[in-house]
Amino acid sequence: MFPQFELLDIYGPLEFFGMLQDAVSISMIAQVPGEVTSSQGPKGVAEIALAEVADLDVLLVPGGWGTRALVQDDGFLALLRAAAKKAKFVASICTGSALLAKAGILDGKSATSNKRVFDWVTSQGPSINWVRKARWVEDGNIFTSSGVTAGMDMTLGLIERLLGREHSIQVAKGAEYIWNEDKTVDPFA
């Protein structure tokens, strides 16, 4: 989490991961633990400092207006880079890919982001194969999604990769969510 994160970027995917209570444990992370104000106003609470992150299965990076300032924050980017090295999978939603790009985490990889600010995001990492028309992109252990709700589709794809297709289908059904399974279909591109 970071100041001015996008609510649905975090809480949509966490709803899906939270439905797998026996298989996952969720921790909220921020540069400094405590309350963090979202772009929409409500606050979330981070329990762990980014500098104290231990090994993770998934590091999930949201987007939001706060990414504009954080791409200039070398201290934050160094912490993000270190946390990503400790994660088996790194995933971003929306403009969270700008942070991964600026931190060098996406160098040499394929990635996508929100289409309304695609040019700004892609300027953060010129050595990345930016895919404009994609709901989400998987490249090895890196998952990046287009804007906001695409992060929920990507999360189901990530759950499929981690635990199998049946888990993703059951989570989508349990949430009464229509999963856009084809990551190449992007009506917003």
Q: Which residues are catalytic?
A: 94
Residue found under tokens 């890196």: 142
Long-range contacts of 159-163 (CB under 8 A, 24+ apart): 159/16, 159/17, 159/20, 161/89, 162/57, 162/58, 162/89, 163/20, 163/23
Please check whether residue 117 is in contact with residue 95, taking contact to mean a CB–CB distance below 8 angstroms. yes
Beta bridge partners of 110: 129
Residue 28, number of CB atoms within 10 A of its CB: 14
Distance between first and last Cα of the chain: 27
Residue 48, number of CB atoms within 10 A of its CB: 13
Helix (H, G, I), strand (E, B) or coil at 39: coil
Which tokens in the block code for residue 187? 């009506």
